[in-house]
Structure 1
Amino acid sequence: MATVLEHTQLPALARGFSLLGSGGGGSTTMLELALAGDEHWPLTLHELDDLDPALPCLGAAFVGSTMLLGERLPGEAPFARLIAAAERWLGHPVPVVCSLEGGGLNGLTPFTLAADRLVVDADLTGRAVPGLDQMSLLVDRVPGVVAACDTGAGGVMLAETGRPIDLERVIRAATIQAGGVGGTVFAGFTVGDLVEHSVHGGTLRALELGTAFLHAASAPLGELATALGGRLLGHGRISAVEPDARDPHVNAIGIDGEGGRVHRIITRSETLAFMTDGRVEASAPTIIVALDTVSRDILEVTDLTLARNVAVLELPAPAWWTQRPERLRHVVPSAYGLADLDGAA
């Protein structure tokens, strides 16, 4: 059954995708502003069962440093050349769009294409992740997937390979050449492929989370966590930010908690784990959310700075990842070289 999304629901939808970012995925502000002025509201969101499974589908996302999007705003139609290249390669139009990444700003990206495509409520991650090889279609080795990306100066690169890490590496290199951030489109799959090989209902989950968050944001922290269907892991003042000796991209954020407890948040581009007194309490793919305890802002990992008072919540992981061990291994901390943090998802 299709859902009609009203303009007034945009803030809740954005807050929900911020929560699903698990500290990553980029700020939703830019796309909120872009969609706020869109003349095509209300927007229709289709469930997979609404659509013919044979319909071709594409996914679109911004890749690279999402922080740069605040300085280098994308053009009016940032995915148009990429979609055109993919459609030329495939030899047919692609009438349906889903989300590549179901957390952070890319949760909103499909709605920028809603004027001329059907938006389906499916995505390839269910939360923010750093690698394109972690997209569900590639994790499940769905054949025929192609990817197109920006290379800078109006250039487009299209790649097709049976080895997922190749797409991650070549698109990452092209994005660096393009200036550090750019658009990417996946195509070559159908609505039917998404039935088994994607996370379902992520947009409606984001809307429910965001609505609950806006209603309960000023409530006591435990009540807020319960309203979101999660739990409060801990809260306190950040007392240390320490890079990991093995990987400078990994930080351990020390928090002085209540009753002498010592909490630690382990981050990379997203939050990977939460510990109390040396014990792992939660780890990816569980969604770990840090909030400013005063403003109740949803924080990204780059916002976790010394002396800030934060609260950390746990939200359930997308079930798609935990259904099979071969899927789960792509998103647990050991996938990032942190094997001692696995097992709390």
Structure 2
Amino acid sequence: MRKIGKREVEDMAVGAAVLASGGGGDPYIGKLMALQAIDEYGPFDMITLDELDDDAWVCGSHMLGAPTVLVEKVPNGREGVGAVDALEERFGRKFDAIMPLEAGGLNSLLPFQVAAAKGVPIVDCDGMGRAFPELQHVTWSLFDIPACPAVVCDEKGDVVTIDAVDNAWAERLARNVAITTGGSVFMADYAMTGADVKRCSIPGTSTYCEVIGRTIRECQEKNVDPVPEILEFLGAYELFRGKLDDVSRRTEGGFARGYAHFQGIDAYHGKECELRFQNEHLLCKSGDQILCSTPDLIAVLDIETALPITTEGMKYGARGVVIGIPVHKHWRSERGLKIAGPRYFGYDFDYVPVEERVKNNG
């Protein structure tokens, strides 16, 4: 077990926003909620998968909805706890630990606040290794772990329990609750034993986020460009450098959908780059040339600071480095591509790993 204090939270917030591929909720809000929880409850207890008992009872905790909504609809801090309370009541037993659903600015840190309020540890793992738009986009789905029963809670205290036929239907039903209640809700779901958590989760995600954030911070302190260090650590690829000259966002169907367009600078002068997103970046292309696509990660880093720029934080004139990060092997499996590959999101081409695209594109 390791104690997680404010410095670790600061670093995790930055690293999680890198792995969030532009989505996952506002990292600033998640950081504030976690820091406030430390003031109230003390440092968090975080355990590894090896330290988790096989018969422990664990659930996921997260926000669901359009990240853009959180700019105005700020959480009150009770939604996540209320969802877990209701799920415990449904099962008639207490949870022994809480785990993140994904690596996202808000969704990586919200579970820490919930775990502290419940007096249980957080598990150093998640179900994605990145952020994805939909509830069923977790490795737990690949191993047939049901999301339901799932509980949805909003800031007013409304509670909805979902019993769906499968995880895709759990997403549809929960998304409609989010739309009805203002665009975002908090959930508790994917209840499972410690043995299943170990078998089906991506290990060490919170620590991984922390190291990414610490690397960026230490480079800034040394006045060293963090981008090469981050590329090397992540095994990532620089796809483009440019100035944002057009961005379009709309909240539709409970998602933030849109595109961002960059004009190339430096070695990319005279070229263009377009990103397509549904909460998270799904496609990066230059003209007709595809540079990277889901399920690989696409992140935009500020060209000066290497701090990640979220889809809702993109503004005209911003200068960014677009990078592609190879995704965890689970998502490159046939089943992973079926639920999170480009064709699932309506793109008419097959997935090609980012490292192959970089090689083929020269």
TM over 0.5: same fold? Answer: yes
How do 1:112-131 residues align onto structure 2 when only pairs under 5 Å count?
A: 112-115=113-116, 116-131=119-134
How far has the Cα of 1:28 moved from its partner?
Answer: 1.3
Structure-2 residue corresponding to 1:91: 92
For 1:106, the aligned partner's letter is N
- 1:181 paired residue number: 184
* Per-residue deviation, 1:44: 2.2
SS in 2 for 1:62: strand
Provide the rounded CA distance (Å) in 2 between the counterparts of 1:214 and 1:157.
41
Q: Which amino acid aligns with 1:344?
A: P
In the other structure, the counterpart of 1:50 is 51
Residue 94 of structure 1, CA deviation: 1.2
User: Which residue identity does 2:278 align to in structure 1?
Assistant: R
Q: CA deviation digits over 1:221-266, x for unaligned, max 9?
A: 44553355423222022344579xxx99342624324253333323
**1:232 corresponding residue in structure 2:** 238
Equivalents in 2 of 1:199, 1:313: separation in Å? Answer: 22
Asked if 1 retains the 8 angstrom alpha-carbon contact of 2:19 and 2:129, the reply is yes
Deviates more, 1:36-45 or 1:328-337: 36-45
TM-score, L = length of structure 1: 0.89
Separation in structure 1 between the aligned mates of residue 146 and residue 278 of structure 2, nearest angstrom: 30
- State the shift of 1:168 in Å: 0.8
- The aligned residue for residue 159 of structure 1 is 162
Q: Are 1:338 and 2:347 counterparts? A: yes
Matched, 1:272 2:282: yes
- Aligned pairs for 1:73-84 (under 5 A) are 73-84=74-85
CA 1:82 to 1:307, structure 2 compared with 1: closer, same or farther past 3 Å? closer
1:278 Cα deviation after fit: 3.0
- Please name the residue that 1:28 is paired with: 27
Amino acid at match of 1:130: P
Q: CA deviation at 1:30?
A: 1.5
Change (3 A) 1:25 1:210: same
Q: CA deviation at 1:141?
A: 1.9
Q: Secondary structure at the match of 2:50?
A: helix
One-letter amino acid of the structure 1 residue matched with residue 299 of structure 2: V
Distance 1:144 1:66 in 2: 21
Which residue of 240, 243, 249 maps to 2:257? 249
Mark the runs of 5 or more structure 1 residues left unpaired by the alignment.
Answer: none
Secondary structure, aligned partner of 2:211: helix
C-alpha separation between the residues in 1 aligned to 2:135 and 2:299? 22
> In the alignment, residue 96 of structure 1 is paired with which amino acid?
A
Query: Could you say if the C-alpha distance between residues 87 and 32 of structure 1 is closer, same or farther in structure 2, counting changes exceeding 3 Å?
Result: same
- The secondary structure found in structure 2 opposite 1:340 is coil
Deviation at 1:121, TM superposition (A): 1.1
1:69 maps to 70
- Seen in structure 2, the aligned counterparts of structure 1 residues 187 and 90 have a Cα distance that, compared at 3 Å, is farther
- Deviations along 1:174-209, one digit per CA (max 9) or x if unpaired, are 112222212111043111111222211111110111
**Does 2:302 match 1:303?**
no
| Structure 1 range deviating more: 58-67 or 228-237 | 228-237
Give the alignment of 1:190-201 within 5 angstroms: 190-201=193-204
Q: Which moved more, 1:81-90 or 1:255-264?
A: 255-264
In the superposition, the TM-score normalised over structure 2's length comes to: 0.85
Identity among equivalent pairs (%): 23
Question: Do the aligned partners of 1:239 and 1:256 also contact (CA within 8 Å) in 2?
Answer: no
| Structure 1 contact 150–184 (Cα < 8 Å) conserved | yes
- The alignment status of 1:6 with 2:5, answered yes or no, reads yes
For residues 41 and 209 of structure 1, what CA distance do their matches in structure 2 show? 24
1: distance between equivalents of 2:72 and 2:25?
A: 13
Which residue, out of 206, 219, 231, partners 2:224? 219
The runs of 5 or more residues in structure 2 that have no matched partner are 355-362
- Partner SS, residue 107 of structure 1: coil
Paired residue total:
341
Structure 1 residues 266 and 127, CA, compared in 2 at 3 Å: closer, same or farther?
same
Q: Quick one: distance in 2 between partners of 1:201 and 1:49?
A: 11
Q: Could you say what secondary structure the match of 2:106 adopts?
A: helix
- Relative distance call for 1:106 and 1:227 in structure 2 (3 A) is same
Counterpart of 1:328? 337
- Paired residue for 2:292, among 282, 286, 291? 282
Deviates more, 1:333-342 or 1:52-61: 333-342
The alpha carbon displacement at 1:325 in A equals 1.2
Deviation at 1:61, TM superposition (A): 0.7
Return the alpha-carbon distance in structure 2 between the equivalents of residues 20 and 234 of structure 1. 18
1:141 alignment partner in structure 2: 144
CA distance in 1, matches of 2:327, 2:112: 24
Equivalent residue, structure 1, for 2:324: 314
What is the deviation of 1:85? 2.0
TM superposition shift of 1:173: 1.1
